[in-house]
C-alpha cells in the first residue's frame, strides 16, 4: 500500500479542449451511470439498464464502452474524480498540517452526509465486490487506497509541521479516521441514528487529541499544540 502514489488523477484530461460529440455522449452516459450506480449499486449496473435510462439503444451504449466491466470502471474513475474535486483539492487550500488534515476530514464528512441519502459506491462497492476479484474490484480498491494514502501523507505533514507527535503512526491514524466515516455512514444511513455526525466530529477531535503534540506522553518536553489558540495551555504538559 505504501507504494501507492499520492492521489492519482484517474480522469482523462479532457477539460482543456471542448469535447467532441462522441466524448460528450460518453460523458453523459458516465454521468447517468454514476447516478444509477449510486442508487442500485455498481454491481447492478448493466448496459441494458443504462440504455433504458439514456433512452438509447443497447448497441449505442455498447459502442462507447465495449463491456459492462469497462462501463463499471469508467464509473469508478468518475466517482474518484468527483471525490477529489469535492474532498481533496479544496483541502489543499488550507495550511499544511492539522488545518489541512481537518479540512480533508470535514470535506469527507460533508460528502458522506450527502451520501446518507443516496449511497456511497466506496462502501456498497466494497460489499458487492469483496468476493469478486477482477478489474472492477481493482479499480475500486485502487481508488480507495489512493485516497487513504493521501490521508496518510497529510498526517505525515502534520507531524513534520510539529502539530502531531513525532511518533505518530500515520497508518494507524488514517485507519481510525476512515473508521469514523464508515460508522457515520452505517449508523446514519442504515440505523437512522441522528447523532452520528456529531459523534464522528467528537471522535475526530479525540483522535487528534491523542496524537497531537499536546498529548505527548513525554512530560518533560515543553510541547506545543493542537490548534493555534491553545498553544499556551500545552506548556503545562
Asked if 122 contacts 75 with a C-beta cutoff of 8 angstroms, the reply is: no
* Minimum distance of a second copy from residue 201's CB (angstroms): 10
* Minimum distance of a second copy from residue 174's CB (angstroms): 9
Asked if 174 contacts 104 with a C-beta cutoff of 8 angstroms, the reply is: no
| Residues engaged in binding a second copy (CB under 8 A) | 1, 39, 41, 119, 123-124, 126-131, 141, 144-145, 148, 169, 171-172, 175-176, 178-180, 182-183, 186-187, 189-193, 195-196, 199-200, 202-203, 206-207, 209-210, 219, 236
Q: Would you say 94 or 175 has its CB closer to a second copy?
A: 175
d(CA 98, CA 157): 8
* Minimum distance of a second copy from residue 183's CB (angstroms): 3
* Minimum distance of a second copy from residue 126's CB (angstroms): 4
Q: Would you say 8 or 199 has its CB closer to a second copy?
A: 199
* Minimum distance of a second copy from residue 44's CB (angstroms): 11
Q: Would you say 27 or 123 has its CB closer to a second copy?
A: 123
Q: Would you say 78 or 187 has its CB closer to a second copy?
A: 187
Q: Would you say 90 or 119 has its CB closer to a second copy?
A: 119
Asked if 170 contacts 211 with a C-beta cutoff of 8 angstroms, the reply is: no
Only one residue has cell 518536553, namely 221
Q: Would you say 29 or 144 has its CB closer to a second copy?
A: 144
Burial of 176: CB neighbours in 10 Å, binned 0-12, 13-18, 19+: middle
The secondary structure of 194-237, three-state, reads: CCHHHHHHHHHHHHHHHHEHHHCCCCCCCCCCCCHHHHHHHCCC
| C-alpha cell of residue 226 | 493542537
* Minimum distance of a second copy from residue 11's CB (angstroms): 22
d(CA 166, CA 221): 12
Helix axes 98-118, 170-185, angle to 10 degrees: 30
Amino acid at each position: 500500500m505504501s507504494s501507492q502514489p499520492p492521489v492519482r488523477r484517474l480522469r482523462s484530461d479532457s477539460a482543456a479542449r471542448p469535447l467532441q460529440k462522441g466524448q460528450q455522449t460518453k460523458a453523459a452516459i458516465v454521468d447517468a451511470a454514476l447516478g444509477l450506480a449510486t442508487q442500485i449499486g455498481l454491481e447492478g449496473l448493466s448496459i441494458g439498464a443504462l440504455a433504458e435510462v439514456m433512452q438509447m439503444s443497447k448497441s449505442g451504449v455498447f459502442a462507447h464502452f465495449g463491456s459492462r466491466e469497462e462501463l463499471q470502471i469508467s464509473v469508478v474513475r468518475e466517482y474518484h474524480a468527483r471525490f477529489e474535486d469535492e474532498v481533496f483539492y479544496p483541502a489543499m487550500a488550507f495550511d499544511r498540517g492539522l488545518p489541512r488534515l481537518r479540512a480533508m476530514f470535514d470535506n469527507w464528512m460533508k460528502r458522506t452526509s450527502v451520501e446518507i441519502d443516496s449511497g456511497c459506491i466506496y462502501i456498497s462497492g466494497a460489499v458487492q465486490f469483496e468476493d469478486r476479484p477482477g478489474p472492477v474490484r481493482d479499480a475500486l480498491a485502487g481508488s480507495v487506497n489512493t485516497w487513504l494514502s493521501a490521508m496518510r501523507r497529510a498526517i505525515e505533514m502534520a507531524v513534520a509541521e510539529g502539530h502531531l507527535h513525532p511518533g505518530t503512526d500515520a497508518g494507524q491514524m488514517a485507519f481510525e479516521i476512515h473508521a469514523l466515516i464508515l460508522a457515520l455512514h452505517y449508523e446514519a444511513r442504515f440505523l437512522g441514528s441522528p447523532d452520528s455526525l456529531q459523534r464522528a466530529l467528537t471522535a475526530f477531535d479525540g483522535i487528534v487529541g491523542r496524537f497531537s503534540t499536546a498529548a505527548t506522553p513525554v512530560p518533560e518536553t515543553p510541547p506545543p499544540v493542537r490548534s493555534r489558540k491553545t498553544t499556551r495551555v500545552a506548556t503545562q504538559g
